[in-house]
Structure 1
Amino acid sequence: MAQTVDAGQGLVEALHADGPAPGHAKELMLFGRFVGSWDVAWTGIDASGREADRRGELHFGWVLGGRAVQDVWIVPGRGEPGEGQPPLAFHGTTIRFYDRALGAWRSTWVEPVNGRVRRFIGRPAGEEIILLSDEENPQLRWRFTEITSDAFRWRSEISRDGGQAWAFNEDMRLTRRPQH
């Protein structure tokens, strides 16, 4: 007889994992080291071309049997003025997994507030992590830099010339929230 599970809890229980899947923990820790909750200080360009600042939140976790890392980005954060109001607000998720055949990470960003979906390929580059999406114009490059156990910087850059030159798009400074 099938067990009855609360629909919301069933999804959470099936999605969540306690840690990386055995056998590939080293590769999985490229993004696994970010598991936890973070405060976000976001800077970007508003519709008039001026710099804008927002505060938000970021949550990383293990999913899909520990084979992937998922995050949820919310800027402005829940309960903050402007939450969920485009174009400067976003509330989206990225699912990332290490593709052994490719030797890199596949990453897909889904963000319904602004109707965006983007696929990236990610790799370590020295002390940074670089994710590149070149399937649409403009190309996007996301960089995780200045990584420590309690902070990192995320920077988005765009290219309209096939990756020859990159321009600032967004910048976030992230600080890990204390664990309870």
Structure 2
Amino acid sequence: MDWSGTGVDGTPVRMTGELHFGWVPGGRAVQDVRIVPGRGEIGEGRPPLAFHGSTNRFYDPSIDAWRSTWIEPVNGRIRRFIGRPLDNEIIPLSTEDEPQLHWRFTAITPRSFRWRAETSHDARVTWTFDKGASPKAG
């Protein structure tokens, strides 16, 4: 995948990485594994820009939404999201911890999508673009 974001010094950063995803366990949930920068790339596995983690998500009919948990050992993060469709996007929102986060999955096709991460430090009044990727299926 192609990833772009902002470095710790505020300058734009672009990296390539890997995205692996599939159905787990027995087709009841979707898991993805993201490795940015990719294996063998400069900065692999080193914070603060590297994120090597996994998301598990499943549909919960009791809330009519997707529950999702992001686990990222490289930066010591665990975040839970509730995801719902909005227009032609899917918006997972994490409000349990500060800052609050939402991700946007846009331009969704059978073979690709665009992902953006946004952060709010003021209880969702304003959002700051964090990082984004354009994963494409192989």
TM category (shorter chain) comes to over 0.9
1:167 paired to 2:128: yes
Deviation at 1:104, TM superposition (A): 0.5
- TM score, norm. by length of structure 2: 0.97
Q: Who is 1:119 aligned against?
A: 80
Give the 5 Å matches for 1:23-34. Answer: none
Residue 30 of structure 1 corresponds to none
More helix by share: 1
2:10 maps to a residue whose letter is G
| Bigger radius of gyration | 1
SS in 2 for 1:156: strand
Distance of 1:148 and 1:68 partners within structure 2: 20
Instruction: Note if 1:72 corresponds to 2:72.
Output: no
- Name the structure 1 match of 2:89: 128
Note the 1:1-150 alignment, pairs <5 A.
40-150=1-111
Identity of matched residues, %? 61
Amino acid at match of 1:140: L
Structure-2 separation of matches of 1:83 and 1:154 = 20
> What secondary structure does 1:74 align onto?
strand
- Give 1:132 shift: 0.2
For 2:54, the aligned partner's letter is T
Deviations 1:111-170 (A, max 9, x none): 000101000000111211000001111110100001112221000001111111111101
- Matched to 2:44, the amino acid is E
Shift of 1:58: 0.3
SS at match of 1:113: helix
Gaps of 5+ in 1: 1-39
Q: Deviating runs (4+, > 6 A) in structure 1?
A: none
Unmatched runs of 5 consecutive residues or more in structure 2? none
TM superposition score normalised by structure 1: 0.75
CA RMSD, aligned part only?
0.8
Instruction: Please give the alpha-carbon distance, in whole angstroms, between the structure 2 residues aligned to 1:85 and 1:144.
Output: 26
